[in-house]
Amino acid sequence: MIGHPDVHNVRIVGPAHVPYHFRLIGMKRELSGADLLSNKDGVAETQLQVGSFLCYAEDLTTGALTTTKINIIGGVDPFIVELGEKPRQTPASNFRPSRIQAYQLFRTASAAPVDIDEDLAPVVSPNLTEYAAKQFSRATTPLTSRLEKRFSIGLSIDLTSARRGGWRAFQRVEGLHPRKDDNQIIINFGSLAFRPKERLRLSVSIEGDQVWQVNVPLFETGLNAEIALVKSGFGPELALRLVAPDPSLSLVLAGSSGSYPGGLERISGFQSDRRGKLDADPWTDLSWALADIRAGAVPRLPGEGPWPWDKHDPISDGYVVWAWMIAASADKTSLSLDQRCLNSLVQARKLGRPYFSATSELAAEMLEALALSSNDSAIRANAKYEAAIWSRRGKTKLKTGPFYAWERPERNLQAGKLPTGNYRTLASGRLRSDALDLEKVLV
């Protein structure tokens, strides 16, 4: 289309400064659309004919999809299309499993139907305000505790490779400088000078709430954590999301959910040549493997066995992927094959929570298949037992895009202050209904 008089340079600007996948579809048959990957700041450029298009914008960090009708006109080069509100920002959402019971109580008190979909129970809802005010204004819980809350963000390291009691405060934080941007805190893990072989875990504690935790993948291309203020009927809260600033890696992570049956290579701007670069880090390799599995392709690993990354402690995601590869490479089923797959999935569970949501989904699917179809009764029983454990873990899972995050109910973690022996405080302060106030930050 280059050189065509009705074709113009177009710049698409996403609602937030994160990677996006834009799909543009012409509203008339003769209009050619586009399939684009943005840069790390949510901006992409293409060429389009004059006319009307539907623009589907997928936030690759959350999976949120927005649809906008845009009209391309001539006389402007480039023609700039800005999606979303101004200034650019992503509305923070915070869906917590621990809120389900509170929402059920609210619906009962308001005589609304009590049957709800737990995945859709909203935290951010103006209808909760009156009920929350009554709940939190009792003598045992002053209303001020709802209007202002303490918070703390901590980083931990697992010194015993997934065995109990091994999590300690991570002390080697050179280069890590959390910063405040409006009402959110941004932590750039790509600037961390020391990269340990052990697992790292980020925790967010808010006064009166269950702590929010997520494993931190130290991608070679970087990782940002964004912890933003959320307004809700339960008072001020925080929402956490992880952002891979490399757009191609963000697309791979989104692909691990099976969102792109036509393949990632068809999307303009996607750097598929990185597939050949194995052993950069285990998290990037496993992201590719999970995306390949969802696309029906055979994944590649940098070596044999479930954990070929000698410089890093093993994580459960590697053993789940290996179980799938064992099953996929077999010509026919057998009891020994079923047992090998089950053994790998048991080891995955023992290694703790996974890094990626796709891992838990894949483990659940394989365990269900073994529980239903294995010819050995012991394997079926053990697979059913393991599936129940993954299911119980899933009840505390938080919606954090492609990354697996969860809540922990321990009361000593609900004071908005994390124990110093197990958590290195990166930032702490107070939340108000309209502001996030920092009192302490790692410098």
The most confident of the ranges 252-266, 279-293, 341-355 is 341-355
Q: Which of 165, 157, 169, 170 is nearest to 198 (CA)?
A: 157
pLDDT of residue 326: 93
Q: Give the pLDDT band of residue 329 (cuts 50, 70, 90).
A: confident
- 330-350 mean pLDDT: 94
Alpha-carbon span 331 to 15, nearest angstrom: 48
pLDDT of residue 313: 94
Its pTM stands at: 0.87
Tens of pLDDT along 383-397? 999 999 999 988 888
Q: Give the pLDDT band of residue 342 (cuts 50, 70, 90).
A: very high
Q: Taking 90 as the threshold, does the pLDDT of residue 349 lie above it?
A: yes
Task: Return the structure tokens found at 435.
Answer: 């502001």
Q: Give the pLDDT band of residue 60 (cuts 50, 70, 90).
A: very high
| Percent of the chain at pLDDT exceeding 70 | 84
Q: Widest CA span of the chain, in angstroms?
A: 73
Sign of CA dihedral 105, 111, 112, 117: positive
Q: Do residues 12 and 44 make contact, with C-beta atoms less than 8 angstroms apart?
A: yes
Averaged pLDDT score across all residues of the chain: 85
- 159-173 mean pLDDT: 89
Q: Do residues 199 and 97 make contact, with C-beta atoms less than 8 angstroms apart?
A: no
Q: 351 φ, ψ to 5°? A: -80, 0
Q: Do residues 301 and 340 make contact, with C-beta atoms less than 8 angstroms apart?
A: no
Q: Taking 60 as the threshold, does the pLDDT of residue 437 lie above it?
A: yes
Task: Return the structure tokens found at 246.
Answer: 């490399």
Q: Taking 50 as the threshold, does the pLDDT of residue 256 lie above it?
A: yes
Tens of pLDDT along 350-366? 999 999 999 999 999 99
Q: Which of 117, 124, 76 is nearest to 100 (CA)?
A: 117
Q: Taking 80 as the threshold, does the pLDDT of residue 298 lie above it?
A: yes
Q: Give the pLDDT band of residue 340 (cuts 50, 70, 90).
A: very high
Q: Give the pLDDT band of residue 108 (cuts 50, 70, 90).
A: low
Q: Other CB atoms closer than 10 Å to residue 26's CB: what's the count?
A: 17
Scan for tokens 């950069």, then name that residue.
280
Looking at per-residue pLDDT, the higher value among 118 and 206 belongs to 206
